[in-house]
Amino acid sequence: GRGIDDVAIVVLTLSPKPEAAAHWTANGLSRVARELQVELAKLDDIGLTYIVGAQGEEIRIEPDPEKLSLYGITLQQLAGKLGGANRSFQAGQIRDDNKQVSLMAGQTLQTPAEIGNILLTARDGRPVYVRDVANVLLSSGNAEHRVSNVLHTPDGMLAVPAVSLAIAKRPGTNAVMISEHIVERLEQLKGQIIPEDVTVDITRNYGETANEKANELLFHLALATISIVILVALSIGWREAIVVAIVIPTTILLTLFAARLMGYTLNRVSLFALIFSIGILVDDAIVVIENIARHWAMKDGRSRVTAAIDAVAEVGNPTIVATLTVVAALLPMLFVSGLMGPYMSPIPAVASAAMIFSFFVAVMVTPWLMMKLAPANAGDHGHGDAQGGRFGRSYLVVARPILKSKLRAWIFLLAVGIVTLGSLGLFYTKDVTVKLLPFDNKSELQVVVDLPEGSSVEATDRVLREAAEIASALPDVHGLQTYAGTAAPFNFNGLVRHYYLRSQPEQGDLQITLKSREERERTSHDVALELREKLKGLVLPEGTSIKVVEPPPGPPVLATLLAEIYGPDAETRRKTAVKVREAFEKVPFIVD
């Protein structure tokens, strides 16, 4: 079986240029791909590499009847000589350093030259070799699969033979750096291993997408921090805002250190956990800042140091309880089982660490910073305003009329309740849909085709090309590859759904690469919806299944909705399955 570390981060598709399509076959492309595979496998931290669409090579021997007759050699004699020369067997075993090593005797023939040099007999004192009576050549095996790269030409769509080289990384290594090294090495090999009339398309680059996602999350992390600092500056004061601006990065650095100790890497989920926790971790610091400022504003004769210590001690216990409450609410997510558990575990682990560190920073670093940044006369601080400052006065203007009488308070409470119930009604009417994770906007889609059992690979290839023609008309599509009788290089979704086991002639994949998010206005989900509608117009053999598969935003599942049917015999189960399917088809939004 395959594991999560076997998912390719980079997929390279080799195909001839349109003008050279007639000169290249899958066999020739396979040889180039194998040489490229050997070179790229030499890079550091490269894991599993494999080729999809490669044609197996075989040595074919074509005897010449006239020459066999001339030298007096029969086919049986030729076959016997070849069989005797191409033989190896286990001769025994030896033990070396507590290991058992098998000894093999004989040899197997590897090249046409070796076969051609086998001595058959002698004629008139002259040796007769296999090459004298037969044509020995290297040819492609009979492969029950077809891989094509769909190109756009002035004359329309052109499908040329192709092979795909999939490259995975070693566990725990940086996908961004590895993918960059692969692309750099690929450029160096062009014109050396890769011929001028062969194009290498990067049809998958998870290192690039991971870098984009990480940069986007880092931008949001900085934006959230700046927003909080500005809000504190407007509502409390600029000195307090400086304290918050120092406290947040300090807490984040400590959290990243803890994440490193726990074995978590800096990825999209852990970055999301940091963004998620920023709004919570700053609460402890704000509570301490507010209370220190309030004690300084009392002007009761205490020194600033004593007042700050008293202020921290006053809110210490409630702050501890609040911090532990948040941690207790997050930690259960750490024990979720299944695929969702490991995927989501950085969120409770990183966010809990952030909360714990935020408390220690709030009670240790924050008072010290307040002392350093406090004005010379802390008693003149604006927090001495009995009305709570500018924002406090604004709140009183709104709150006093509502709380002026009991009737007004009850009317306000009733209005809030009605609005709350009305907002919940949006879920019932489906105006607001509920999802665990939103649709992602990735640059790849997949069309999975299953023809009736027994269909030929030619029929599968024909359906895939018709689907590719429909997909190529969409303005958001950048590239297309068809895989008939074999599976496309599997992604995380394909790993869980075991797409890599699809190797029957009636099974096929259409791999769709979309333009980058900056070059298209629609999301990949919108493109998938339109493609699904257009594929309904295909004329397909009865019993054909065609599915538009989107990469899920979270952990993949075998099926979004799965019904298991148990019964006494196959016929009963089959009839029940048909009825269940009919019931599913009547439900809106259930597709494929």
Q: For residue range 149-174, what is the model confidence (pLDDT) as tens digits?
A: 998 777 778 899 999 999 999 988 88
Strand partners, 204: 11
CA gap 171, 267 in Å, rounded:
14
567 alpha-carbon distance from chain centroid: 38
Tokens at 392, concatenated: 């406090």
- DSSP 8-state assignment for residue 177: H
User: How confident is the model at residue 1, as a pLDDT?
Assistant: 67
Tokens at 395, concatenated: 């709140």
Tokens at 578, concatenated: 């048909």
User: How confident is the model at residue 377, as a pLDDT?
Assistant: 60
pLDDT-based confidence at residue 46 (cuts at 50, 70, 90) = very high
2-6, 91-95, 102-106, 119-123: least confident range = 102-106
Q: What is the mean pLDDT of residues 15-28?
A: 88
Parallel, antiparallel, or unpaired for β 119-123 and 444-450?
A: unpaired
131-140, 242-251, 287-296, 392-401: least confident range = 131-140
Angle at 145 between CA 139 and CA 149, to 5 degrees: 95
Q: What is the mean pLDDT of residues 164-191?
A: 92
Q: What is the mean pLDDT of residues 382-411?
A: 76
Q: What is the pLDDT of residues 504-559, one digit of tens each?
A: 999 999 999 999 888 898 999 999 999 999 999 998 988 899 999 998 887 788 88
- DSSP 8-state assignment for residue 145: -
Q: What is the pLDDT of residues 205-261, one digit of tens each?
A: 999 888 888 888 888 888 888 998 898 888 778 888 899 899 988 998 999 899 989
User: How confident is the model at residue 383, as a pLDDT?
Assistant: 44
Q: Are 113 and 137 in contact (CB under 8 A)?
A: no
Alpha helical stretches, state H, 59-157: 65-71, 75-85, 112-116, 130-133
Q: Does position 378 have pLDDT exceeding 60, yes or no?
A: no
Q: Kindly report the number of other CB atoms within 10 A of residue 184's CB atom.
A: 10
Maximal C-alpha separation, the chain: 128
Q: What is the dihedral of CA 7, 556, 499, 36, to 10 degrees?
A: -20
pTM of the model: 0.75
Q: What is the dihedral of CA 335, 336, 342, 345, to 10 degrees?
A: -60
Nearest to 361 by CA among 506, 499, 483, 246: 246
Q: Are 464 and 546 in contact (CB under 8 A)?
A: no
User: How confident is the model at residue 70, as a pLDDT?
Assistant: 86
CA gap 535, 444 in Å, rounded:
17
3-state secondary structure of 469: helix
CA gap 263, 248 in Å, rounded:
22
Of residues 502 and 559, more confidently modeled: 502
Helix-then-strand count for the chain, H and E: 19, 16
Q: Kindly report the number of other CB atoms within 10 A of residue 548's CB atom.
A: 23
pLDDT-based confidence at residue 380 (cuts at 50, 70, 90) = very low
DSSP string, 395-407: HHHHHHHHTSSHH
Nearest to 101 by CA among 113, 90, 110, 86: 90
Phi and psi at residue 156, to the nearest 5°: 120, -160
Q: Kindly report the number of other CB atoms within 10 A of residue 125's CB atom.
A: 5
Q: Does position 204 have pLDDT exceeding 60, yes or no?
A: yes
CA gap 487, 510 in Å, rounded:
9
Q: Does position 486 have pLDDT exceeding 50, yes or no?
A: yes
The CB-side HSE value for 587 (13 A sphere, CA atoms) comes to 10
Parallel, antiparallel, or unpaired for β 545-549 and 507-514?
A: unpaired
Q: What is the mean pLDDT of residues 376-401?
A: 65
Tokens at 384, concatenated: 């001495």
CA gap 117, 110 in Å, rounded:
12
49-53, 120-124, 499-503, 568-572: least confident range = 120-124
Cα distances (angstroms) measured from residue 317 to each of 287, 311, 313, 363: 12, 12, 8, 11
Strand partners, 87: 107
With b for 16 or more beta-carbon neighbours within 10 A and e for fewer, the 468-486 pattern comes to beebbebebbebbbbbbbb
Residue type, 473: A
Q: What is the mean pLDDT of the chain?
A: 86
User: How confident is the model at residue 414, as a pLDDT?
Assistant: 96
Q: Are 383 and 389 in contact (CB under 8 A)?
A: yes
DSSP string, 423-452: HHHHHHTTSS---SSPPP--SEEEEEEEPP
User: How confident is the model at residue 447, as a pLDDT?
Assistant: 95
Strand partners, 507: 450
Rg, the chain, Cα only: 35
CA gap 162, 199 in Å, rounded:
10
User: How confident is the model at residue 148, as a pLDDT?
Assistant: 94
Cα distances (angstroms) measured from residue 212 to each of 165, 443, 517: 23, 12, 10
